[in-house]
Structure 1
């Protein structure tokens, strides 16, 4: 039977699950936020798109876990932490922020190189 290259190390998978469970909800972390939208576009090191662009929505009852896994099947310990970007969008006057991150993982003992262009938009409550 062939090894599944996407099969994560059990310890890494468990650590990620524990981090998720330890995270508070969006409503508790940001009491004035109604919804957080995060648009994601991944690109390969050569600039070609790696997967289809997509958007994730977070409501007050959801976990405030903004760690995005790398989309490369062979990447080890990779991903993108969008928590600072979300914090910045919540604090900004326009409640929007966009940026660019590189994966923090490795592939075949080299830097992964997958890039993420993101946009965070926050809708505040109408209290």
Structure 2
């Protein structure tokens, strides 16, 4: 029961965060679309690549670019790609790549328990 309550609270917080972030069309008016390709890596896994994911964002969507950590035990972690996207748009660059570590501060997980390699492609109007 407590786990379900925690999940509901986290889901509600994510919805509030999305609303605060605003729409892509408002925050980045020159952007026609954003594609984020990610490879999730997990330190304690059989295979170092846990998952590959592609996310598409459109002007009528939220400018919320926080990707959850895929490690089941990870609470309140994840990867915030907002600063990278804002920097690309500000410089009007079409793409960028990088690596991020999960930002979780959970005593049971090492600081480098998960990471992503990302590629961001921005399409302009």
Shorter-chain TM-score tier: 0.7 to 0.9
Quick one: which of 6, 20, 38 aligns to 2:36?
A: 38
The answer to whether the Cα contact below 8 Å between 1:88 and 1:97 also exists between their aligned partners in 2 is no
Give SS of 1:111's match.
Answer: coil
| Aligned Cα root-mean-square deviation (Å) | 2.3
The answer to whether the Cα contact below 8 Å between 2:79 and 2:103 also exists between their aligned partners in 1 is yes
2: distance between equivalents of 1:109 and 1:33?
37
Give SS of 2:12's match.
Answer: helix
Alpha-carbon shift at residue 61 of structure 1 (Å): 0.5
Quick one: which of 4, 18, 24 aligns to 1:20?
A: 18
- With structure 1 as the length reference, what TM-score do the two structures score? 0.83
Give SS of 1:76's match.
Answer: coil
Give the structure 2 partner of residue 88 of structure 1. Answer: 87
Point out 4+ residue stretches in structure 1 off by more than 4 angstroms: none
Give the structure 1 partner of residue 113 of structure 2. Answer: 113
- With structure 2 as the length reference, what TM-score do the two structures score? 0.84
Where in structure 2 are there 5+ consecutive unaligned residues?
none
What is the 5 A alignment of 1:43-82?
A: 43-45=41-43, 48-51=48-51, 53-82=52-81
2: distance between equivalents of 1:96 and 1:79?
21
Name the structure with the higher helix share.
2
